[in-house]
């Protein structure tokens, strides 16, 4: 547009005062339109490691979360508003997670955050969400021993994953177990849960060994496994250390036929980064496997692959990240509000027919009712489901093998022993 010609045209018909008034109306209308547009969107945060040792697992959870947001927007949004995702990188660093959580809530003004993987990251951001009385949807299985009104635990509690897996291996494989893990709060606590269960069952823990998160040095760990001669291994290693661990097991002649491994943090997405022959015949325990047969899962897989690529695979944390958005959306609708304090009151009223089956939030614990499944890795890098609880299991955050005060005391000693951190330096 030629503004000079427009100005001369207006000058012929109107006084300078009227022209000024006309320009002001245009400016006001412009900013009002922008404000109205802004009011039509609700910001939601996505906080995952897109770099560092945990990126192998968390990038895909971010994508699945975005898929759910896109679907909701295509269907008209929530309460007449579209969702605007704000994605930030936790960088596999717990302190950075806390800074980003604070920024999402205080500066970006998001109404909810979907994110975290490791328990060290969750425990580091927990005080931030409690400070602002905000809401985090946490999508990964974990060690339990925690409950917060500011966190919705959509991943499984120990009685939905670890404990039934221990029982299945005790009944079907043997009585002697070696426990391995990364050296931070989740594996250390999960190890205690496992040891309690093995003791109750009358079995024996023949060793436990830990390596720093992200470490590639698994030589000592494997040497101790060889010496201990367990019937099976329970694996709580997180991140890309798993690649080296399974490679080292096979090099040492430890095979699934003689000594199978059951992993609690290795799923389809991690298998892509591994050599399939290194893991075929080993196991994992989750609520969801891509191979699970349901109409909802078939649709979910098709939509995800259409958006992100036919070579992509689906896993439990991805599916959990996906259905977590829908559970939050349902709670928002029940509350007729996006405010976290209002949404919290309606969480227990929300359910969703997820790819894994019907899931719903337990009002007492703010954890999620989910099934338990054990899968065996096949030559295609997928899992053949070998055991299924066939129904959703009520979550129990605090394992009954110890009192709540005993579990809290154990965590406090870990935290203090690590110098006020949730991972060993």
3-state SS, residue 262: strand
Show Cβ contacts of residue 150 under 8 Å, excluding neighbours closer than 6 positions. Answer: 126, 129, 130, 133, 134, 135, 136, 340, 344
Residue 125 has pLDDT above 50, yes or no: yes
Q: Which residues of 338-373 are buried (b: 16+ CB within 10 A; e: fewer)?
A: bebeebbebbbebbbebbbbebbbbeebbbbbbbbb
Residue pLDDT, tens place only, 165-224: 999 999 999 999 999 999 999 999 999 999 999 999 999 999 999 999 999 999 999 999
**What φ, ψ does residue 14 adopt, rounded to 5°?**
-125, 160
Please tell me the pTM assigned to this model.
Answer: 0.90
* E-state strands within 79-146: 82-89, 113-115, 136-138
> CB count, 10 Å around CB of 326?
18
Q: In whole angstroms, how far apart are CA 100 and each of 95, 121, 125?
A: 9, 11, 9
How far is CA 287 from each of CA 267, 281, 355, 371, rounded to the nearest angstrom?
Answer: 11, 19, 10, 5
Q: How far, in Å, CA of 30 to CA of 36, rounded?
A: 10
Quick one: pLDDT at residue 273? 87
pLDDT single digits (tens) 249-260: 999 999 999 999
Where are the domains positioned within the chain? Answer: 159-291+398-417
**C-alpha Rg value of the chain to the nearest Å:** 25
CATH 3.40.50.360 is the classification of domain 159-291+398-417: no
Please give the Cα distance from 318 to 82 (Å, whole number): 22
Note the helical H segments in 266-336. Answer: 268-271, 276-279, 295-308, 316-335
pLDDT exceeds cutoff 50 at 32? no
């Amino acid at each position: 547009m030629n503004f000079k010609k427009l100005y001369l045209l207006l000058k012929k018909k109107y006084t300078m005062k009227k022209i000024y008034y006309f320009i002001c109306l245009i400016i006001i209308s412009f900013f009002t339109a922008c404000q109205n547009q802004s009011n039509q969107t609700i910001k939601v945060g996505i906080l995952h490691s897109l770099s560092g040792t945990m990126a192998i697992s968390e990038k895909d959870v971010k994508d699945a979360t975005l898929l759910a947001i896109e679907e909701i927007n295509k269907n008209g949004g929530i309460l007449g508003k579209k969702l605007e995702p704000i994605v930030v990188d936790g960088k596999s660093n717990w302190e950075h997670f806390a800074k980003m959580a604070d920024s999402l809530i205080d500066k970006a003004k998001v109404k909810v955050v979907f994110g975290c993987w490791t328990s060290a990251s969750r425990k580091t951001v927990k005080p931030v969400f409690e400070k602002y009385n905000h809401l985090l949807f946490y999508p990964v299985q974990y060690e339990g021993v925690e409950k917060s009104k500011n966190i919705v635990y959509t991943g499984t509690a120990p009685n939905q994953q670890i404990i039934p897996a221990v029982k299945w291996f005790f009944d079907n494989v043997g009585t002697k177990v070696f426990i391995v893990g990364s050296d931070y709060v989740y594996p250390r606590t999960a190890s205690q849960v496992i040891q309690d269960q093995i003791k109750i069952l009358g079995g024996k823990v023949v060793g436990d060994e830990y390596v720093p998160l992200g470490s590639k040095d698994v030589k000592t760990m494997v040497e101790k496994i060889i010496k201990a001669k367990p019937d099976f291994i329970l694996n709580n290693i997180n991140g890309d250390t798993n690649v080296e661990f399974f490679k080292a097991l096979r090099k040492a002649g430890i095979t699934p036929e003689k000594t199978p491994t059951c992993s609690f943090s290795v799923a389809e997405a991690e298998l892509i980064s591994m050599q399939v022959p290194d893991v075929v015949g080993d196991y994992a325990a989750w609520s969801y496997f891509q191979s699970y047969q349901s109409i909802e899962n078939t649709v979910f897989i098709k939509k995800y692959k259409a958006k992100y690529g036919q070579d992509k695979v689906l896993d439990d944390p991805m599916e959990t990240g996906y259905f977590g958005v829908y559970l939050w959306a349902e709670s928002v609708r029940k509350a007729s509000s996006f405010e976290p304090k209002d949404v919290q009151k309606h969480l227990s009223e929300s359910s969703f027919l997820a790819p894994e089956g019907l899931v719903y939030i337990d009002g007492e614990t703010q954890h999620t009712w989910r099934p338990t499944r054990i899968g065996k890795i096949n030559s295609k890098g997928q899992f053949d489901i070998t055991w299924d609880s066939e129904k959703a299991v009520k979550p129990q955050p605090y394992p009954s093998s110890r009192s709540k005060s005993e579990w809290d005391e154990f965590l406090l000693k870990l935290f203090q022993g690590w110098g006020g951190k949730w991972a060993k330096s």
